[in-house]
């Protein structure tokens, strides 16, 4: 982990999620896109997947590749010097391999989380129409007003198995609030 990334990772809390994620990856589990909130995290055991988790999991969870279309990942990877206000640049070789990994395992526009996405390339998962609709009942005090969450971008604060692509609402635990009942 690079020093700058370490510093930022330091103020994002992972809680117990870390050990669960490590266990899931250890088994080489891959998410399969279906109706119950599980999304493809790609092939978990390749060198590219490991590189992705290492480089892109330093400041936030390594988002499952299936959550954005290939065009989004290409744009994100081409603009890492200005990444949501941070510099997240990696070496040219790592960038090429991570881009290949993400675009190979990207989501298909029109399906799952990308239901209303057609030709466009949104840069945020948290701005996808499907995402907004699924979270519109979660109050601010549980997110930006919750120091253990901070923002919706911090998926794994509430979805403990986020990195493996499991977002099933039955396994949501909001720090300080617990299970979600709607
Ligand atoms: C130096 C820290 C840092 C590193 C390293 C980093 N990011 Fe980020 N990333 C951020 C920040 C900060 C945000 C915005 C989070 C927020 O709004 O709360 C973000 C947001 C994102 C989002 C949008 C999340 C949303 O809100 O839907 C994606 C996608 C993303 N990063 C992908 C990547 C990829 C791919 C890599 C690896 C090449 C990477 N990030 C590495 C800091 C980083
Ligand atoms: C503050 C806690 C919180 C954060 C952070 C959060 N979510 Fe959620 N998420 C929820 C809750 C609560 C639900 C269930 C909402 C409902 O059913 O009304 C949910 C539901 C979902 C669902 C639908 C699951 C299903 O069973 O249909 C998906 C997919 C999802 N979230 C993805 C994400 C992703 C991806 C991120 C990060 C980019 C994220 N969430 C961040 C709390 C959170």
Range of the domain at 11: 3-168
pLDDT tens digits, residue range 37-63? Answer: 777 766 667 899 999 999 999 999 999
Given a cut of 80, whether residue 104 has pLDDT beyond it is yes
In a domain, 99, yes or no: yes
Query: 111 near 33, Cβ under 8 Å?
Result: yes
Average pLDDT estimate for 145-156: 97
Q: How many domains does the chain have?
A: 1
Average pLDDT estimate for 12-27: 38
Spatial distance between the Cα atoms of 69 and 114, rounded to a whole number of angstroms: 8
- In this prediction the pTM is 0.85
Burial class (CB in 10 A: 0-12, 13-18, 19+), 55: buried
In a domain, 174, yes or no: no
Given a cut of 50, whether residue 2 has pLDDT beyond it is no
* Alpha carbon of 84 to ligand 1 centroid (Å): 7
Residue 147 pLDDT: 96
Three-class SS of residue 125?
helix
Residue nearest to atom 13 of ligand 1 (CA): 84
Q: Which residues line ligand 2 (CB under 6 A)?
A: 36-37, 67, 113, 125-126, 134-135, 137-138, 142-143, 149, 152-155, 157-159, 167-169, 172, 174, 180, 182
For residue 56, which atom of ligand 1 is closest to its CA?
37
Spell out the long-range contacts of 15-19 with Cβ–Cβ below 8 A and sequence spacing 24 or more.
Answer: 15/148, 15/157, 15/175, 16/160, 17/61, 17/156, 17/157, 17/160, 17/162, 17/163
In a domain, 38, yes or no: yes
In a domain, 46, yes or no: yes
In a domain, 182, yes or no: no
Residue 42 pLDDT: 67
In a domain, 79, yes or no: yes
pLDDT tens digits, residue range 125-138? Answer: 999 999 999 999 99
Q: Which residues line ligand 1 (CB under 6 A)?
A: 4-5, 8, 55-56, 58-60, 63, 76, 80, 83-84, 86, 88, 90, 98, 124-126, 151, 153
Query: 83 near 76, Cβ under 8 Å?
Result: yes
Average pLDDT estimate for 152-166: 94
Q: Please provide the average confidence, as pLDDT, over all residues in the chain.
A: 83
Query: 37 near 178, Cβ under 8 Å?
Result: no
In a domain, 36, yes or no: yes
In a domain, 90, yes or no: yes
Give the ligand whose atoms come closest to the C-alpha of residue 15: 2
Residue 43 pLDDT: 65
Among the residue ranges 10-24, 72-86, 136-150, the one predicted with the least confidence is 10-24
Percentage above 70 pLDDT, the chain: 77
Given a cut of 80, whether residue 144 has pLDDT beyond it is yes
Residue 11 pLDDT: 38
Residue 38 pLDDT: 72
* Alpha carbon of 66 to ligand 2 centroid (Å): 15
Contacts of 32 (CB under 8 A, 6+ apart): 38, 40
Give the ligand whose atoms come closest to the C-alpha of residue 180: 2
């Amino acid at each position: 982990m690079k020093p700058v990334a370490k510093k930022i990772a330091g103020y994002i809390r992972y809680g117990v999620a870390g050990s669960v994620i490590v266990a899931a990856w250890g088994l080489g589990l891959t998410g399969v896109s279906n109706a119950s909130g599980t999304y493809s995290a790609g092939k978990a055991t390749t060198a590219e997947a490991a590189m992705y988790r290492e480089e892109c999991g330093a400041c936030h969870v390594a988002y499952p590749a299936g959550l954005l279309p290939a065009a989004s990942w290409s744009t994100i990877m081409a603009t890492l010097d200005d990444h949501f206000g941070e510099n997240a640049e990696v070496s040219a070789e790592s960038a090429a391999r991570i881009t290949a990994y993400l675009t190979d395992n990207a989501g298909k526009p029109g399906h799952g989380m990308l239901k209303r996405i057609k030709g466009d390339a949104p840069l945020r998962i948290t701005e996808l129409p499907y995402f907004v609709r699924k979270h519109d009942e979660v109050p601010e005090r549980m997110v930006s007003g919750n120091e253990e969450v901070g923002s919706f971008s911090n998926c794994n604060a509430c979805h403990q198995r986020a990195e493996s692509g499991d977002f099933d609402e039955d396994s949501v635990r909001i720090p300080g609030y617990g299970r979600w009942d709607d």
